[in-house]
């Protein structure tokens, strides 16, 4: 379960850049939230603050009622998937997916079970022995998702995960990520600059501009009152 609450969150970078201003949002458990808006509007900064990769300048972040501002990323029980996949090139798909669990000293049989289950779900079970360089873009993105899934985190954070894929694959992966969300029944927080992606995937869409929230609405509400 993961209810994520951002309360009066600000981010100030060096040099007087205010990247995020008074960001307020209650993300429900199991919700699929999409942050959308043009480049530079503060989406990625917001996501990175939730992940703990960026310090919060002001305001409060809680996950399931627990204040998270000063909790280390590895102790937040959330997983992040990046645009550039960030796979280890010298490791096989299996090793890439197992690595995070190995670091956390999970027993080998448990690691094996989780890697195989995730590989089944993502349809990459036949690729476990390959190195990333021998995979297509879509397959690499699945491995990146797999590496997050095996940790069974409370929430998945995704930063433009599809923007390196070609148009056709983007459409396909969109619906696969939606299916994954239904199957895992976990909170997803997804960043994109692509409005179609936002409208087709989000339970609610947070439209950002210049570091502010401009609108929070369901896709239906946006269709009927654009
Ligand atoms: P988005 O993800 O919507 O493209 P970002 O969160 O990356 O937006 O950036 C928001 C603003 O913060 C931009 O003006 C950007 O230039 C600035 N910014 C991002 N990272 C840094 C940083 N490390 N130092 C200073 N300014 C930054
Ligand atoms: P090591 O602990 O020597 O670094 P690896 O990280 O290569 O081992 O693998 C961890 C475990 O996962 C080993 O028991 C290995 O046999 C198993 N393993 C690795 N790749 C696969 C695969 N494609 N299919 C099944 N088991 C695998």
The residue to mutate among 112, 120, 135, having the most atoms of ligand 2 within 8 angstroms of its beta carbon, is 112
**Which tens digits make up the pLDDT trace of 156-209?**
999 999 988 889 989 999 999 999 999 999 999 999 999 999 999 999 999 999
Fill in the DSSP letter of residue 204: E
Q: Could you give the angle at the alpha carbon of 138 between the alpha carbons of 177 and 144, nearest 5°?
A: 65
pTM: 0.89
**What is the mean predicted confidence (pLDDT) over 78-99?**
92
**Which tens digits make up the pLDDT trace of 123-139?**
999 999 999 999 998 99
Nearest partner of 20 among 52, 47, 2, judged by Cα: 47
Start-to-end Cα distance in the chain: 32
Share the mean pLDDT of the chain: 94
pLDDT of residue 226: 65
pLDDT above 80 (res 146)? yes
Measured in angstroms, how far is the CA atom of residue 26 from the centroid of ligand 1?
A: 23
- Would you state the torsion angle of the CA atoms of residues 21, 25, 29, 32, taken in this order, to the nearest 10 degrees? -70
**What is the mean predicted confidence (pLDDT) over 85-111?**
95
The residues, ordered by sequence, that sit 6+ positions from 194 with a Cβ below 8 Å of its Cβ are 36, 162, 163
Beta strands in 101-211 (DSSP E): 155-159, 187-192, 204-209
Q: How deeply is 93 buried, as exposed, middle or buried, from its count of CB atoms within 10 A (0-12, 13-18, 19+)?
A: buried
- Alpha-carbon distance of 172 to 103, in angstroms, equals 32
**What is the mean predicted confidence (pLDDT) over 79-103?**
92
Distance of CA 26 to the CA centre of its chain: 17
Cβ proximity of 41 and 103 under 8 Å: no
pLDDT above 90 (res 24)? yes
**Which tens digits make up the pLDDT trace of 4-13?**
999 999 999 9
**75 phi and psi, to 5 degrees?**
-100, 10
Q: Record the tokens describing residue 79, joined without a space.
A: 């997983």
Nearest residue (CA) to ligand 2, atom 13: 108
Of 26-35, 47-56, 83-92, 104-113, the range with the lowest mean pLDDT is 83-92
**What is the mean predicted confidence (pLDDT) over 81-99?**
92
Cβ proximity of 225 and 213 under 8 Å: no
In percent, the amount of the chain with pLDDT more than 70 equals 100
In percent, the amount of the chain with pLDDT more than 90 equals 89
**Which tens digits make up the pLDDT trace of 39-51?**
999 999 999 999 9
From the alpha carbon of 102, which atom of ligand 2 is closest?
Answer: 6
HSE toward the beta carbon, residue 167, CA cutoff 13 A = 1
**What is the mean predicted confidence (pLDDT) over 132-160?**
94
For residue 124, the ligand closest to its alpha carbon is: 2
**What is the mean predicted confidence (pLDDT) over 55-68?**
97
Q: Record the tokens describing residue 157, joined without a space.
A: 């954070």
The residue to mutate among 42, 195, 212, having the most atoms of ligand 1 within 8 angstroms of its beta carbon, is 42
pLDDT of residue 74: 87
Q: Which residues pair with 81 in a beta bridge?
A: 158
């Amino acid at each position: 379960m993961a209810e994520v609450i951002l309360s009066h969150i600000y981010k100030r970078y060096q040099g007087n850049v205010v990247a995020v201003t008074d960001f307020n949002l209650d993300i429900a458990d199991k919700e699929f939230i999409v942050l959308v808006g043009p480049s530079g509007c503060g989406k990625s900064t917001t996501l990175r603050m939730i992940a703990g990769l960026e310090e919060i300048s002001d305001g409060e972040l809680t996950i399931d009622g627990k204040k998270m501002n000063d909790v280390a990323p590895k102790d937040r029980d959330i997983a992040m998937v990046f645009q550039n996949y960030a796979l280890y090139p010298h490791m096989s798909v299996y090793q890439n997916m197992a690595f995070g669990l190995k670091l956390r000293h999970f027993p080998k049989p448990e690691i094996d079970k989780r890697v195989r289950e995730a590989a089944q779900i993502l349809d990459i079970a036949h690729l476990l022995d390959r190195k990333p360089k021998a995979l297509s873009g879509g397959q690499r993105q699945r491995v990146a998702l797999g590496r997050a899934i095996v940790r069974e985190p409370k929430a998945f954070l995704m930063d433009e995960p599809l923007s390196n894929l070609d148009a056709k694959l983007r459409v396909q992966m969109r619906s696969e990520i939606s299916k994954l969300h239904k199957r895992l029944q976990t909170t997803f927080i997804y960043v994109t600059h692509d409005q179609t992606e936002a409208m087709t995937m989000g339970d609610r869409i947070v439209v950002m501009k210049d570091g502010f929230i401009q609108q929070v609405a369901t896709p239906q509400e946006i269709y009927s009152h654009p």
